Amino acid sequence: MARIFYDCEFIEDGTTIDLVSLGAVDEHGGEFYAISRAFDPMKAGPWVRKNVLDKLPPSSDPAWRSRLQLREDFHAFVTAGPGAVELWAWNAPYDHVVVAQLWGAMPDLPRNLPRFTRDLRQRWDDVGRPELPPAPPDAHDALADARHNLVKWKVIDEIWRARMGDPE
């Protein structure tokens, strides 16, 4: 089973969740990063402006993509390997909704994409909330957060495996 750890930065107002950026890493060093050209920065609150928007590269950077291109490129990244894949995120429900909305309604998701994202935060809680490495200096950059999710996974999974008696 391949695992992909990802993070989304987004603007939300209680009704709409609008993707700003998406970062993902796999366990073998593959990475994906994209910024949506479709979000409206004027709808961002002060926290998102300061912690997310102010850190984005200029719009001339190739990471900026249309929603369609972002969707196609993310799909290609997730399905590049053989076999099934698990998606993992910290506080996964919002991230999963943002990603699923790239295709529209849930029934429109490609069949080879998972229908849910596993929650690292919940797994961390399940193993007793061990100390995790501190957030990176570039936290709230979607790719930096995705990389940090993989780092957190390694700590959490080591404890999980020890409790389950699984040496691998």
Sheet hosting strand 64-65, strand order edge to edge: 64-65, 31-36, 17-26, 2-12, 85-89, 118-119
Share of the chain above pLDDT 90, in %: 86
Tokens coding 139: 């936290």
Helix, strand, coil percentages in the chain from 3-state DSSP, rounded to 5: 40, 20, 40
Over range 43-58, report the average pLDDT.
Answer: 95
CA distance 76 to 52: 25
Q: Which residues are registered as beta bridge partners of 2?
A: 85
Q: Which residues pair with 23 in a beta bridge?
A: 7, 33
pLDDT of residue 82: 85
Q: What percent of the chain has pLDDT over 70?
A: 98
Q: Which of 55, 77, 67 is nearest to 18 (CA)?
A: 67
- Residue pLDDT, tens place only, 106-163: 889 999 999 999 999 999 999 999 999 999 999 999 999 999 999 999 999 999 888 8
- What pLDDT digit, counting tens, does each position of 6-26 carry? 999 999 988 889 999 999 999
Output the pTM of the full model: 0.93
> What is the SS3 assignment for 90?
coil
What phi, psi does 166 have (nearest 5°)? -100, 110
Annotated ligand binding at 157? The verdict is no
The pLDDT value given to residue 167: 59
The domains of the chain are located at: 2-164
Provide CB contacts within 8 A for 45, sequence distance 6+.
11
**Position 116, amino acid:** F
Architecture of domain 2-164: 2-Layer Sandwich (3.30)
Backbone angles phi, psi at 58, to 5 degrees: -60, 155
Q: Average pLDDT of the chain?
A: 94
DSSP state of 68: H
Quote the pLDDT of residue 86: 96
